[in-house]
Structure 1
Amino acid sequence: MAEHISKQFDLELENTRTRVLQMGGMVEQQILSAIDALMTGDIEKLDRVIAEDALVNALEVSIDENCQHIIARRQPAAGDLRMVISVVKTITDLERIGDEAQKIARMGKAIHENERYQMPRFREVRKMAEVAIAMLRRALDAFARLDAHAALELAEEDRRLDDDFAAEIRHLITFMMEDPRTISMSIDTLFIAKAIERIGDHAKNISEYVVYLVKGKDIRHTTIDDLNATING
């Protein structure tokens, strides 16, 4: 009987992990659609990204409730408890990534509807988005495979994305100083770049939860050297 309950519990945990990855796929598609629509001026697609955020929110609530039920019924301990905690933290970051994708769509819609679109202004934004999306994929892969080593790679990628964001701010300031007519468009672009930078932050957070899950150590707010020691120690 105990073995049967244990197997059923393992199945519940695995099902929960699968739903987290499903949610991750949804928010990744949100970002891809938002960036693609931003580049092409597809207003209908931007509207879909905005509307689909409600689906991501609903999935977060559903998974969170499931985790609460697991805690109440199963009273997990040790690694199982860390798994549930990591899931709750991960879906919070995924929901916030969805919010950032929605923000990109809203800003993109404002730019296109007001005819403030200029292609050269979005080259750097697209490059930033490619980095952020790759970070999210790596974080979700680490969660799926319980790969603690990914956290070190993502910490370094996040630093690169921060540098790219700082460079984009400098570019936009230059545009605004040279031509005040670009101020509105530049401000909207700045919000988009910031949203992408935040996506990278959330992806890094997810990789840190994997380290907590695998190693049992909280590595938030640590240096890359300390992170390296924790993972490889």
Structure 2
Amino acid sequence: MNHIDAELSGLKVKLMEMWDLVEYQLQSGRDAMVNADQELARKVVKLGKKVNNFDVKIDRMCENLLALYTPVAVDLRLVLATLKINANLERIGDTAEGISMYVQNRKEPYNPEMLEVTNAIPMFDEALAMFRDCRVAYKSNNTDQARAMLKRDKMLNKIYRKSDKIIADYLRNNPDSIEEGLAILAIIKKLERVGDQITNIAEEIIFYQDAKVVKHKSKKKNKDNGDKE
């Protein structure tokens, strides 16, 4: 293995370590929300510093690779894709922290009825499944699996688009639950952003492997179709 291959291998290992940590944050954020686990929520928030350290480390590794080895072709695409994947992982970690902040001071779980009518739990579970499957796609260089993320994100968008009306209707009949309803609405909005960030990562996997930019094409297609579901 030559020097650049060794450096690229180390970069992938470091990115996987960050990916595992962010997945733990996201899964723990879900568990904390369902169980009103304040201690777990605080742990998720505290892990944000560790995620940020990974973010800085991976950025520096990419910069060093570009400066010292001037990679080309697939190696260059890997470094460029890693920079963007790293940024999106950091943002997903921030989102998991944000969700946990809505939990760390709660003394009881969120109302199961409200969680059910808003589909907040299925939305969270699908976001987690997409995150894990996207990691598999990266490790196995599977662009078909990466492309599937672009379609699966539509489920999260559909739940998000309906959430305002559902929660507004619920609160009209349950005015004492306004604070709780607004918190769940904020969590749903954050999960929609997680879906967008996973889609961004999937697009970078496709770019790295196939040398194809699908970002603007997929957005244009959704616009042309009126994003109908």
Q: Taking structure 2 as the reference length, what is the TM-score of the superposition?
A: 0.90
**Match for residue 80 of structure 1?**
75
Identity across the alignment (%)? 27
Greater shift in the superposed pair: 22-31 or 177-186:
177-186
Provide, for residues 73-99 of structure 1, a one-character-per-residue CA deviation record: whole Å limited to 9, x for no partner.
101111111100000000000000000
The match for 2:10 among 7, 10, 15 is 15
116 and 131 in structure 1: CA distance in 2 versus 1, 3 angstrom threshold: closer
Aligned equivalents of 2:207, 2:76: Cα separation in 1 = 11
Give 5+ residue unaligned stretches, structure 1. 1-5, 228-233
Aligned equivalents of 1:116, 1:153: Cα separation in 2 = 33
The match for 1:99 among 80, 94, 102 is 94
**Match for residue 214 of structure 1?**
209
Give the CA deviation at 1:221: 2.2
**Match for residue 32 of structure 1?**
27
Aligned equivalents of 2:146, 2:139: Cα separation in 1 = 13
Give the CA deviation at 1:105: 0.1
Aligned equivalents of 2:221, 2:171: Cα separation in 1 = 41
Give the CA deviation at 1:8: 2.0
Give the CA deviation at 1:204: 1.0
Give the CA deviation at 1:167: 2.7
Give the CA deviation at 1:28: 0.7
Q: How does 1:1-233 map to 2 (within 5 A)?
A: 7-110=2-105, 112-113=106-107, 117-123=110-116, 124-223=119-218
Instruction: For 1:173, give the aligned amino acid.
Output: A
Aligned equivalents of 1:197, 1:18: Cα separation in 2 = 28
Give the CA deviation at 1:225: 10
- Computed over aligned residues only, the root mean square deviation of the Cα atoms, in angstroms, reads 1.9
Give the CA deviation at 1:166: 2.0
Instruction: For 1:212, give the aligned amino acid.
Output: F
Give the CA deviation at 1:181: 1.7
Q: Taking structure 1 as the reference length, what is the TM-score of the superposition?
A: 0.89
Q: Is the 8 A contact 1:116 1:185 kept in 2?
A: no
Secondary structure in structure 2 of the residue aligned to 1:223: helix
Instruction: For 2:15, give the aligned amino acid.
Output: V
19 and 116 in structure 1: CA distance in 2 versus 1, 3 angstrom threshold: closer
Give the CA deviation at 1:21: 1.3
